[in-house]
Chain A
Amino acid sequence: MTEPTKDALPITVRNVTKTYGPVHALDDVSIDVRSGEFLTLLGPSGSGKTTLLMVLAGFTRPDCGSLRFGDDEVIRTPPHLRDLGMTFQSYALFPHMTVAGNVGYPLKLRKRPKAEIAERVAKALDTVQLGGFGERRIDQLSGGQRQRVAVARAIVFEPRILLMDEPLSALDKKLRDQMQIELRHLHEQLNMTTVYVTHDQREALTMSDRIAVVNHGRIMQLATPRDLYERPANRFVADFIGESTFLDVTRGDGGVAWNGMALKTAHAVPEAAELQLMIRPERIVLRDGPVGGMNTFEATATDVVYQGDSYLLHARLADGTRIALRGPMRGTAALPEEGQAVTLGLAPEDTVVIDASEQ
């Protein structure tokens, strides 16, 4: 392209609050998005993740706070001067323009010469694998194609920051999986700081460099997908990401204790009044009997479900707590029967104790 490649910009959010009446949509939010990073805002609906994105884009005016792109304070800059790429949940393609008209619109606004517009539009459409679709009308496109046009329109003017608001939520699962990979490649290729909003945790885990889990207008944890899944900072994150069984535990010497039974853990136990043991279904395993070095639990199988690639075992611990276990299906190993006594093993590395006091 004709302009020199611009560098990605870091985003600095400081103490942003937005209230709607008594409701805190954003409650003193501060967050740093590193330049070139793919950061996902993940949270349930109404958590404030979209509000935060709208503040970044300039469509929602916060009550107070600071927002910087690089070194520039932009909190009072109107949206049309922020120079951000953005895709919308509804795609927001202009129905009265062709595909090329849509993609070329930001360049037209920037008064680029016609030849350059045509060239850059063609290149952007190639990037999203829609080469030759320029003259199509929007209503002639499928959902996946519209999504690609929306992406092409958002990147054609080479913004240094790209915002995406649940871009894949309207697509069917197969197409969504494929687009996740494509967007990820695109991100690596284009070097834009990307802020992505989704309520789909799998999507967030698949695509992000880091994930900010949002709830009640606050950032609950900002971490890499792996840290978020394996070392959640609090009960909300542990609950929201993945499935788990939680057991109330107390601090014991060298670890924790559950119902008087000492449990070994390879991780630090948080300093908190209330502690819980988080057990992921795929981290706990079925054992024939007690195994040295592992924490073991005796349980009774209540339900066994064959799921093709794996099986799901529901069991009840001695104190009545229900626990789920997911194991791989291999060979012809017999599955436990309902009512059968089973021994479950949990390695110390997988014994994760979380702070259950804050919510």
Chain B
Amino acid sequence: MQANSDTAPPGTAAPERLNEAGLRRDGRLERLALFGLASPAMLLILVILVIPVGWLFYVSFLGADGSFSLENYERMISRKSYARIFVTTFQVSLLTTGICILIGYPLAYFMSQLPDRLANIALITVLLPFWTSLLVRTYAWLVLLQRQGLVNDWGISLGLWEEPLKLVHNMTGTLIGMVHIMLPFLILPVYGSMKAINRDLMKAASNLGAHPRRAFWDVFFPLTMPGLSAGALMVFILCLGFFVTPAVLGGGKVIMVSMQIVRNIELFVNWGAASALGVVLLVLTMAILWIASRFLKLENLAGGGHG
């Protein structure tokens, strides 16, 4: 800072760069300390994620005789059952995502229009299932949906249908359970992006002559797209690797990749085949994320606002 009057008297040499080395060292130490904070977590990730995945990757290239081979991958292409498993996996994931959007978007919209206090209560209600064990929720659905379950009992006694409906151990049950578990993952980012929309924007659209429905599609919906696509992506990717719920509610009729992995190990003790499936699933997921990242801002996945 050089003020007009209070500078060094003329004739003094340009001052040396004071404390330069010390200041640089302080900066380096600060960065190191920050890195130190992250190191326990990074060590953990290395031990429980990077090393096992690396080992899986290695095992997937071992044949039955323990030598290098592509047979685990060839099997996936040659056997029809594997193709069917992948088709089912994508089908279930897409349907779950679609139903979550149809149910979650209007709910998030409703919540975003509530006064703050009610909105917080609604938000807690949405989050409540998160604090209950996944297994408990899944078995609860089994109890509710079975032949003599609560839903069938009530439906018949109310005269809505005559014979018990097949609600579980099939695609219907799988979807009901998965949608229930995935819904918060969709609602939260969508709700976040809706709350971030300045309410004046809808007023402005209306003032400029837009019917409320037109204003919704022209202004509101496009501004919720980042949240909606982030939520949908998250649900879809979580569905791809989902195990417990489809295993329990699908009753062995809905076989997804994760279940085939378990079967390969428990039934056939074939670690190579299981690993290869895991690798394919991982690569597919990463590919989808990579493609999505070219169109979307993925920081929305972490629950940030839009824009």
- Write out the residue numbers on chain A whose beta carbons fall within 8 Å of the beta carbon of B36: none
A89 to chain B, nearest CB (A): 8
- Write out the residue numbers on chain B whose beta carbons fall within 8 Å of the beta carbon of A139: 307
| With contact pairs A90-B198, A95-B223 given, residues A80 and B211 touching in the complex (Cβ less than 8 Å) | yes
B282 to chain A, nearest CB (A): 35
B143 sits at the interface (CB 8 A): no
A79 sits at the interface (CB 8 A): yes
A235 sits at the interface (CB 8 A): no
- Write out the residue numbers on chain A whose beta carbons fall within 8 Å of the beta carbon of B95: none
A69 to chain B, nearest CB (A): 14
| With contact pairs A59-B203, A79-B203, A86-B204 given, residues A92 and B198 touching in the complex (Cβ less than 8 Å) | yes
- Write out the residue numbers on chain B whose beta carbons fall within 8 Å of the beta carbon of A88: 200, 203-204
CA distance A78 to B214 in the complex (A): 14
Q: Is the CB of B209 within 8 A of A86?
A: no
Residue of B207, B219, B223, B307 near A80 (CB, 8 A) is: B207
B206 sits at the interface (CB 8 A): yes
Q: Is the CB of A90 within 8 A of B200?
A: yes
B165 sits at the interface (CB 8 A): no
Residue of A57, A89, A93, A95 near B207 (CB, 8 A) is: A57
Which partner residue on chain B sits nearest A163 by CB separation?
A: B207
B212 sits at the interface (CB 8 A): yes
Q: Is the CB of B203 within 8 A of A106?
A: no
Question: 0/1 per residue, B185-216, Cβ < 8 Å to A?
Answer: 00000000000001011011111111110110
- Residues of B contacting A: mostly: helix
- Write out the residue numbers on chain A whose beta carbons fall within 8 Å of the beta carbon of B201: 92, 94
Interface range on chain B: under 10, 10 to 19, 20 to 34, or 35 or more? Answer: 20 to 34
- Write out the residue numbers on chain B whose beta carbons fall within 8 Å of the beta carbon of A86: 204, 207
A2 to chain B, nearest CB (A): 17
A105 sits at the interface (CB 8 A): yes
Q: Is the CB of B207 within 8 A of A84?
A: yes
Which partner residue on chain A sits nearest B197 by CB separation?
A: A95
Q: Is the CB of B210 within 8 A of A80?
A: yes
Give the total of A residues in contact with B, Cβ under 8 Å. Answer: 26
- Write out the residue numbers on chain B whose beta carbons fall within 8 Å of the beta carbon of A57: 203, 207
- Write out the residue numbers on chain A whose beta carbons fall within 8 Å of the beta carbon of B307: 95, 139
CA distance A145 to B297 in the complex (A): 27
B222 sits at the interface (CB 8 A): yes
CB neighbors of A among B227-281 (8 A)? none
Q: Is the CB of B204 within 8 A of A96?
A: no
19 sample A-B contacts, Cβ–Cβ < 8 Å, listed by A number: A57-B203, A57-B207, A59-B203, A78-B206, A79-B206, A79-B207, A80-B207, A80-B212, A82-B207, A83-B209, A88-B200, A88-B204, A89-B200, A92-B198, A92-B201, A93-B204, A95-B223, A96-B223, A106-B209
Give 7 nearest A-B pairs by CB, closest first: A92-B200, A92-B204, A106-B208, A109-B209, A88-B200, A79-B206, A86-B207
